[in-house]
Structure 1
């Protein structure tokens, strides 16, 4: 923690949380805003469904790759420069997407977007721990998750509205404008939270030593799996939404927002509860409770899909409850990851994000297309993805009971 943290931000804590949440929201906005325009973009650029899926996979893999470096760069150069340069490149990449005349160009600029978008969410996690002690950091992380949770609900609505009233190009011009607003806000408001005495030397040997230290620590890897993989139990449904909602549940596109509203309500409620119990409930108990919610509702969802035909009357609620369980435990697991190696918090955030984003890219590019047409397969795969995180946490707790 920065010894001068109390001097760096004079405004209310919730305002700082909003600033950090807006940085984190850039990622979901970059994905969810253009999803309603898939068909329109494909028609305009004469692209196949597989090529359109590549615009998403290219973004996710670019995001995962560069996530390895955002945090380590911020450990050496400071948090603020990495955030501002990341936003500047995002603005240029969004302009490239808006001006694309072929599917190849769009895939290239989407990958470029992915390479820079992670700077906000990776560095913002390290900033929270720079500024606050553990229990207070959990409250701030929960507040960030609450505000962050609104993005996936708002983004598809904005994307659909822009597509109807303008064109798919307007979606990327909108993202460009969001990038400009965020750059100006962070240039004027975001303090440098990494104390000069806590900076790491910027040379390859030191960076490689840091990556080896974290990558060879089984506690870090298990915690990263416990936080990153269960998210895909919910993200799988988001990726499969056009088929799951339209074909399996028979919802018209104008009613898709109910799915996003319920899911985001679950995330925001879970994050709110997480913040309320910070400092009152041991981290390991809070994580256990989050996994218990996800496991219980995951089993119930699978059983219901095996016994009954998927119906909109009940099929959306389990996803919202699953989201509640995930948001209940993820702020705590994230802080445990950051505190394993306090001198490398930026790098730890990078590697944690890389593991989670790699899983996201794999689910988007491989898993979702295989299971999206079957509600039973979706429910079983969601439960399996959550189970990977649960097994990772259970093994780590037995091997290192002092953590949490």
Structure 2
């Protein structure tokens, strides 16, 4: 694989702890620093779901105020996701070249400004354009947080850390719709974007004060744009990396179909109020977080690939139940458990697939590799979002079909593209998530 590597670092092939816990203990408490790092990085990775989920209960009201339809309103979600994808493609390689801190702080400052502009959008077309900018600037937090984890952890330890981050990240989809529904009692929907601007300011200050540089100059990439393009090509040519990236993207596509379609399906078709919808959405997000923590506890005891398969099986089963509930008229009591199964499965899929992908050759270009994972994830998610409303707001069939199909596709990709070679030389990413020994 023709990946352009940075100057050779002095590091072990498999890292299971932080870079130097003893040194951190001597300077003021390694465990305290680790908990603070979890809080900040988890909050950074929550920018995406927070930007999307806070105003989900407001989508019907937004459509009315801007005199537009459900599909056009859902495009404001797609626009944000498209921005998140494009922004990661820029911020990830930049962080490999410039270090992690500078691109992170610049992105967070721009996110706060873009969110404030969204609050003043006079038309749905303007809001769509600004949402692209908001997503692109917020993407720096997501991609660089993943790269920082990969700077410090690898293999099973990385899977556990990603699972731990979901304790913080998972609070966004749990609390955001509930908070959004309650805030709508006090303010119109533009006020929600002003709240997001305040969140951006808080994250900027947190990163400024609490995130140190984790990529020293000796390990930074060189070569400019051409080297970045070659790196992306090399990563895409790695069958294992590409397989896990597609698994993440397709499973997130199923999740995002649920995210974009459920406000209309559960409120307009099944009659849930914005507040009740927020509670239901939060319960489903709690399932994601709980599954991630179970997976984190089992990592090291159970193969990461097996944990990934469990998550994909849950999502596929949930999609099948959802289809059956919609076509048989089982009502909200059939739909809600099916959606809970789909979202809980994601808690096993995302941490383990990410840890498996960010090993091997990808470990030496973590920023670019993380960016390509993010681009795949959010590009497929954004493409799937409008499918939920393609037949209008009066039917749940498109949402159910899309979720079921994407879950099946993710399972098929994992089973075929990431299976072990037949020559007996199994890639270590297949079983534990550990990187194979570096040559020489």
TM-score if structure 2 supplies the norm length?
0.85
Distance 1:51 1:266 in 2: 30
The 1:5/1:388 distance shift into structure 2, 3 A limit, reads farther
Query: Equivalent residues in 2 for 1:151-190 (5 A)?
Result: 151-190=172-211
CA contact (8 A) 2:164 2:293 kept: yes
Which of the residues 340, 356, 369 maps onto 1:320?
Answer: 340
Partner of 2:43: 22
The 1:183/1:2 distance shift into structure 2, 3 A limit, reads farther
Partner of 1:118: 139
Distance 1:167 1:304 in 2: 34
Note the C-alpha offset of 1:162. Answer: 2.5
CA contact (8 A) 2:76 2:128 kept: yes
CA contact (8 A) 1:68 1:354 kept: yes
Distance 1:190 1:220 in 2: 28
5+ long unaligned stretches in structure 2: 1-8, 12-18, 432-440
CA deviation vs aligned residue, 1:335-356 (integer Å, no higher than 9, x gap) = 1111132111111110111111
CA deviation vs aligned residue, 1:169-191 (integer Å, no higher than 9, x gap) = 32111111111111001100001
Note the C-alpha offset of 1:385. Answer: 0.2
**Local SS of the residue matching 1:165:** coil
Note the C-alpha offset of 1:92. Answer: 1.1
Partner of 1:209: 230
Correspondence 1:380 to 2:377: no
Partner of 1:67: 88
Distance 1:376 1:101 in 2: 32
The 1:371/1:231 distance shift into structure 2, 3 A limit, reads farther
The 1:162/1:300 distance shift into structure 2, 3 A limit, reads closer
Partner of 2:159: 138
Partner of 2:435: none
Partner of 1:52: 73
Q: What is the Cα-based RMSD across aligned positions, in Å?
A: 2.3
Distance 1:220 1:245 in 2: 36
Which of the residues 97, 121, 127 maps onto 2:148?
Answer: 127
Partner of 1:237: 258
Note the C-alpha offset of 1:39. Answer: 4.0
Note the C-alpha offset of 1:161. Answer: 2.5
- How many residues align? The count is 403
Distance 2:268 2:123 in 1: 29
CA deviation vs aligned residue, 1:281-329 (integer Å, no higher than 9, x gap) = 11122122222222333333333444x3132223211211222222113
CA contact (8 A) 2:45 2:145 kept: yes
The 1:133/1:256 distance shift into structure 2, 3 A limit, reads same
Greater CA deviation, 318-327 or 44-53? 44-53
Correspondence 1:361 to 2:389: no
CA contact (8 A) 1:95 1:176 kept: yes
CA contact (8 A) 2:243 2:413 kept: yes
Correspondence 1:329 to 2:349: yes
CA contact (8 A) 1:287 1:332 kept: yes
Partner of 1:103: 124
The 1:317/1:43 distance shift into structure 2, 3 A limit, reads closer
Partner of 2:436: none
Greater CA deviation, 350-359 or 374-383? 374-383
Partner of 2:111: 90
**Local SS of the residue matching 1:357:** helix
CA contact (8 A) 2:253 2:380 kept: yes
The 1:104/1:261 distance shift into structure 2, 3 A limit, reads closer
Distance 1:54 1:202 in 2: 37
Distance 1:352 1:244 in 2: 30
CA deviation vs aligned residue, 1:197-245 (integer Å, no higher than 9, x gap) = 2110151221122112112223222111112211232322221122211
Greater CA deviation, 386-395 or 25-34? 25-34
Distance 1:170 1:152 in 2: 18
Partner of 2:53: 32
Note the C-alpha offset of 1:43. Answer: 4.5
Distance 1:45 1:112 in 2: 20
CA contact (8 A) 1:2 1:131 kept: no
Distance 2:121 2:345 in 1: 40
Correspondence 1:309 to 2:329: yes
TM-score if structure 1 supplies the norm length?
0.92
